[in-house]
Amino acid sequence: MTETTFVQELLKCRSVHEAMLLALVGDSHAADDLYQQAALVMTRKREEIPEDCRFLPWSRKVIVNVVRDYRKQKARQKVSLLDEPSLERIAGAFERLDETILDARREALRRCLNKMDAPQRKLLHARYEENRSIEDLAAESSRSRGAVETMLYRLRRALAACVERSLGTRGVR
């Protein structure tokens, strides 16, 4: 596979790779690190990829192997992670994902977020983009932990409903 084709395919599949890694390890920081490792492995193996190879299925296998190595490392450190059958089930679910569906969901989420008030978007951003703790957000807003948890729950529910309504009208699920 040529370098240009490889880079195009890697960039095209990045969101699927990142989502898969997050689902497999459940930690956004670890998923980011593992994405970097997987991208390096794929880059090293680029010349071994046949021209007629479908990149996404091949890259998913690389990612599963990187996660397996990560799990072995964490097992030596006595950190509990997914068992092998669960890892395979989650990886299998990502094999059935279509990039266009993910793109449509991402776009619907962006539109739904833009419909929210600025304070609501700010709270979601602080919690999920900046990974701030609920305690920190509660202290900053002079609210109780329970109040912040309830707000986040309601915002997630509203976003999910908005995304589903948006996708339902477009026939994408």
Full set of structural domains in the chain with CATH:
3-97 (1.10.1740.10), 100-170 (1.10.10.10)
Residue 15: pLDDT band (50, 70, 90) is: confident
Q: What is the pLDDT of residue 91?
A: 75
Element containing residue 54 per DSSP (H, E): none
Q: For 42-57, write each residue's pLDDT tens digit.
A: 999 988 888 788 888 8
Sign for the CA dihedral angle at 63, 100, 55, 129 comes to negative
Q: What is the pLDDT of residue 36?
A: 95
Please give the span between the terminal C-alpha atoms of the chain, in angstroms, as a whole number. 32
Q: What is the pLDDT of residue 12?
A: 87
Q: What is the pLDDT of residue 129?
A: 83
| Alpha carbon distance 68, 59 (integer Å) | 14
Residue 24: pLDDT band (50, 70, 90) is: confident
> For the residues 33-47, what does the mean pLDDT come to?
93
Mean per-residue pLDDT over the chain, rounded = 86
State the Cα torsion 21-61-39-49 to the nearest 10°: -160
Q: Look at the block and give the residue holding tokens 């993910």.
A: 102
Q: Is residue 159 pLDDT above 70, yes or no?
A: yes
Q: Of 39-43, 131-135, 142-146, which range is least confident? A: 131-135
Give the angle 107-108-114 at the CA atoms, nearest 5°: 90
Question: Whole-model pTM?
Answer: 0.51
> For the residues 65-74, what does the mean pLDDT come to?
88
Q: Is residue 80 pLDDT above 80, yes or no?
A: no
Q: What is the pLDDT of residue 81?
A: 63
